[in-house]
């Protein structure tokens, strides 16, 4: 089993939670082809300002992957402005393992996460990617933080 950090925005995290689907652009085919049924996906969302309130980067949910990658161009995801009409057609079906009522703040986890080697410039380990593999220890760190909420 492999653990993944899916890098998203809050709108698309909500789509994944509602429809039990995760999708990425075609340029990430080499990454999503490595995702297999039984793998675990932690949904990361970046910082967002809503009505002058800053919502911090967070983990919103955890899923089990239940399908191999498939292609579907139906427009269910919201494309960020810089990606134009991207539909995130390379997809996997998901089964919810844990949907956090209160998302787990990401920044307090950074000192404990092994995959983030540069703790000061941590966003470089996430920015520009649709998803990345994380060690099992990092998954356990995320789940431990959820238990302490």
Is residue 133 classed exposed, middle or buried when 0-12, 13-18 and 19+ CB atoms within 10 A define those classes? Answer: middle
Separation between Cα atoms, residue 9 and residue 120, nearest integer Å? 22
Mean pLDDT of 50-55: 88
Residue found by looking up tokens 């998203």 in the block: 8
Is residue 71 classed exposed, middle or buried when 0-12, 13-18 and 19+ CB atoms within 10 A define those classes? Answer: exposed
Specify the pLDDT at position 147: 81
Region of 5 on the Ramachandran plot (φ > 0 left; ψ -120 to 50 alpha; else beta): beta
Specify the pLDDT at position 149: 61
* Per-residue pLDDT band at 79 (split at 50, 70, 90): confident
Specify the pLDDT at position 128: 86
pTM of the predicted model, to two decimals?
0.93
**Residue range 93-141, pLDDT digits in tens:** 999 999 999 999 999 999 999 999 999 999 999 988 999 999 999 999 9
Contacts of 120 (CB under 8 A, 6+ apart): none
């Amino acid at each position: 089993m492999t653990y993944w950090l899916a890098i998203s925005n809050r709108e698309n995290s909500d789509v994944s939670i509602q429809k039990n689907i995760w999708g990425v652009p075609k340029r990430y085919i080499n990454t999503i082809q490595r995702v297999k049924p039984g793998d675990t996906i932690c949904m990361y969302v970046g910082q967002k300002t809503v009505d002058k309130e800053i919502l911090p980067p967070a983990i919103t949910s955890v899923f089990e992957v239940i399908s191999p990658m498939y292609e579907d161009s139906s427009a269910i995801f919201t494309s960020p402005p810089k990606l134009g009409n991207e539909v995130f057609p390379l997809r996997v079906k998901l089964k919810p393992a844990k949907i956090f009522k209160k998302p787990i703040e990401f920044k307090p986890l950074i000192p404990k996460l092994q995959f983030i080697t540069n703790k000061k410039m941590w966003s470089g380990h996430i920015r520009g990617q649709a998803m990345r593999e994380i060690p099992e220890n990092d998954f356990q760190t995320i789940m431990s933080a959820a238990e302490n909420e």
